[in-house]
Amino acid sequence: MFSRCGLGQPSIIRYELPVELKDLLARAFPNPGDEAEIAAVFTAAAMDGRLGIPVRREGEAIHIGYQAAILAASPAH
């Protein structure tokens, strides 16, 4: 993909993007009433890892860690 655009091989920077479930729900516009079901899925994932992403509980808060990456490339020579 990068070479087709005239760019060299990209460098990749990976990081975890943390978000609290309540903040995610505030931005995600779930259907009315779905918040409880979504929260139940993430609460269970904090216990058993069913979502395959980092989820942990701290008191009443559920913290999610999305894996993100930045790809950066310079023009090929």
pLDDT digits (tens, 9 = 90+) for 12-23: 999 999 999 999
Strand, coil or helix: 76:
coil
Query: Structurally, how many domains does the chain consist of?
Result: 1
Can you give the residue range of the structural domain that contains 24?
3-72
Tell whether the model's pLDDT for residue 64 goes beyond 90.
yes
Asked whether residue 77 is domain-assigned, the answer is: no
Asked whether residue 13 is domain-assigned, the answer is: yes
Asked whether residue 20 is domain-assigned, the answer is: yes
Asked whether residue 15 is domain-assigned, the answer is: yes
Quickly state the pLDDT bin for 55 (edges 50, 70, 90): very high
- The DSSP string of 16-62 is EEEEEHHHHHHHH-PPTTHHHHHHHHHHHHHHH-TTSS-EEEETTEE
Asked whether residue 36 is domain-assigned, the answer is: yes
